[in-house]
Each structure stands twice: as C-alpha cells, then as structure tokens.
Amino acid sequence: MPTPIIDNDRCKGCELCVHACPEDVLAMASDINAKGYFFPFIAHADACNGCRYCLLVCPDTAVQVENKGKTTIRTDGLTAKAFHYCPGCTHGVIHRLVGEVLQELGVREQAVGVAPVGCSVLAYDYFNCDMQEAAHGRAMAVATGIKRGRPDMVVFTYQGDGDLASIGMAETVHAANRGEKITVIFVNNAIYGMTGGQMAPTTLPGQVATTCPAGRDVSLTGYPIRIVELLATLRTPAYLARVAVHEPKHIMSAKKAIRKAFKFQLEKTCFSLIEIVSTCPTGWGQQPHEACAWLEDQMLPYYPLGAVKTPETAH
C-alpha cells in the first residue's frame, strides 16, 4: 500500500501537500518542528492511492512516497541542503525539476548553472553541479562566455523576472537573438521577491506591490511584459515555452518542457527559454494555497501556457 513519508525537519508548514491530496490522506499536526513550523501527518493511510501529488507540490523536498517496498528518493541533481526560501515558495519545486532533468539526462557532471542576484542567489548551495554567480541581470552574458569557451558543457541560467526582464533585458534579447546554445530557466512570480515586494516588469495590471500600493497603473507604467511572446518575434530559431508549477498536472508538464529545452542544447539546436509562472506567497501577502489559486485565476489568463515557438515553427 502506498504511504507518504514526511521529513518533518525539512517541512515549513506550507500545507500545499495537504491541499493537493485528492484523498485527504494528510492533515496538519498541532506539533511544531525544530524550526517552529507545523508539519503534516498521515491522517488516513488507507486512502492513499499513490498519486504522488504530495511529493510533486512540496517545495522543500520534504515528502517521499513508499510503494510496494520501494521509496522514492531525492534526486542527486540537488544537494542535501535545505532550501532557504519562504514557506510555500515554488522555487523549490522548480529546483527539483531542473535537478531531476540534469540527472536523468546524465549531464549533471558536465552542467554549469548561472545564478544572479535575486531569491535564487544561493542556488549554488542547492544544485549539485558546478555553479557560477553573476551580477544582477547578467546571467546570460556570463552563460554566453562559459558556453562559447566550453561548448562541451551544458550551461543553464536560473533567473527571476526582475533580473531577466528588467535589469537584464538587454542580455535576454541579445542572447536569444544570437541563438546562444544555452538553456534559460525564467521564474515569473510577477514581483521582486528578495528585495521587498516591489513592482516588477511582469506585475499584473492592478496588482498591489510595495512600490504601487494602489495597484499597477498601466497608464503610468505600461503593461506587463510577456517575455516568451516578445522573444518569439525574433527570427533566430529558439524554443520558447511557458509552464506553471502551482498544481501537479502543470508540474509534470513543466518537467517535460525543461527536459526538451536541455535536449535542444545537447543537440546544439537552439537557444531555449522556459518561462515558469510561479507563486510568491510572501510578496503577494497570501497563504501558499491561496497564492496557487490566485495564479490560476489571475496570472494564467494574462500569461497563457504552452510552447510559443519551437525550432520547427521558427521562420
């Protein structure tokens, strides 16, 4: 019989696993762990159907599933270090997906990640591959140098929306236009997360941020930038897709897109950018499960999911 296994010490009490479980197997305990967080417990073990939704949505790799004597294990694509991200932040989910893809493709030992300033500034602690730190917005410029100097390496950047779509916009456009053979993981949570919740280039019309407490006024700031659609206007062949990680079915689709992006690099086919619509419960002032619902209702209509451009459709 399948059974979730909870690592209480890694848990930050976001409750995403509880809300994701279709059979109400999990519930939140009244006890707290050493870090002061409540954690889930198995309330109805007999009801578990082995769907692994709890594992998929956990942003802290705190959940594994045992089934028929076998237990899922955390990917070797990540280190054992616990993430520093806020409770419910889906950076952890995205990290896991990238780490799994690197490991499953057998390229972790030849991978180099580039992380600039932002919530992911400490990504070198988490990805179990070589990492390079870049100045704010300059990750693609650094990745270009690494890839051109060592074309045998698998090079990826991991960037937020303030970094990639604001201070780094020039690097973004020109790296794509040159067709650099790198893979870009672009996390769009519609806000500056690390620096205090300011309005980002991707903040939605009317969305509240610390620098627009009355909501984004498009008459003053313009409309949010759709990065994949913007880059799709370039003639250079590329793989541009938008995915999301707020619920299990989308997480599985996101992994497929990330895998495809890395395979295009291995085949020396094209520049690839995967935009991942993500949540920022702290910056949005919402509970993690509320942030997931807000993403579904508010972000996806403006940022539709799917492949916007592929090498086959490039002109």
Angle, alpha carbons 81-82-86 (nearest 5°): 145
Examine residue 76 and state whether it is found in any structural domain, yes or no: no
Examine residue 246 and state whether it is found in any structural domain, yes or no: yes
Same domain, 63 and 100: no
| Res 215 pLDDT > 70 | yes
- Residue 26 phi, psi dihedral angles, 5° rounding: -105, 150
pLDDT in tens, 1-42: 889 999 999 999 999 999 999 999 999 999 999 999 999 999
pLDDT in tens, 202-214: 999 999 999 999 9
Q: Which two tokens stand for residue 170?
A: 């020039």
Same domain, 31 and 171: no
Same domain, 65 and 103: no
Same domain, 131 and 272: yes
Domain's final residue, options 17, 43, 71? 71
- As a whole number of angstroms, the distance between CA 203 and CA 200 comes to 5
| Res 237 pLDDT > 90 | no
Q: Which two tokens stand for residue 253?
A: 């689709």
Same domain, 58 and 122: no
* Contact (Cβ atoms closer than 8 angstroms) between residue 97 and residue 77: no
- Residue 119 phi, psi dihedral angles, 5° rounding: -60, -30
Domain's final residue, options 71, 104, 130? 71
Examine residue 83 and state whether it is found in any structural domain, yes or no: no
Domain's final residue, options 18, 41, 71? 71
* Contact (Cβ atoms closer than 8 angstroms) between residue 73 and residue 64: yes
Same domain, 44 and 98: no
* Contact (Cβ atoms closer than 8 angstroms) between residue 247 and residue 255: no
How much is the average pLDDT of 77-94?
Answer: 96
| Res 123 pLDDT > 80 | yes
Same domain, 12 and 106: no
Tally of structural domains, the chain: 2
Examine residue 269 and state whether it is found in any structural domain, yes or no: yes
| Residue-number span of the structural domain to which 59 is assigned | 3-71
Examine residue 79 and state whether it is found in any structural domain, yes or no: no
Looking at residue 129, its amino acid is: C
CATH (domain of 55): 3.30.70.20
pLDDT band at 314 (very low <50, low <70, confident <90, very high): low
User: What is the secondary structure of 122-181 as a DSSP string?
Assistant: GGGGTBSSEEEE--TT-HHHHHHHHHHH-TTSEEEEEEEHHIIIIITHHHHHHHHHHT-S
- As a whole number of angstroms, the distance between CA 91 and CA 93 comes to 5
Same domain, 57 and 169: no
Cα R_g (the chain), whole angstroms: 19
Per DSSP, the three-state class of 115 is strand
- Which residue shows structure tokens 């076998």? 70
Look at residue 82 in the predicted model and tell me its pLDDT. 95
- Which residue shows structure tokens 């539709």? 304
pLDDT in tens, 293-307: 999 999 999 999 999
Examine residue 80 and state whether it is found in any structural domain, yes or no: no
CATH (domain of 143): 3.40.50.970
User: Rounded mean pLDDT of the chain?
Assistant: 95
Same domain, 96 and 66: no
- As a whole number of angstroms, the distance between CA 223 and CA 246 comes to 24
Same domain, 146 and 39: no
Same domain, 10 and 146: no
pLDDT in tens, 130-156: 999 999 999 999 999 999 999 999 999
Helices in the chain by DSSP H: which ranges? 16-20, 53-57, 91-104, 139-149, 161-162, 169-178, 218-221, 227-232, 248-266, 281-284, 288-294, 300-302
Examine residue 52 and state whether it is found in any structural domain, yes or no: yes
- As a whole number of angstroms, the distance between CA 295 and CA 280 comes to 10
pTM for the complete prediction?
0.96
Examine residue 130 and state whether it is found in any structural domain, yes or no: yes
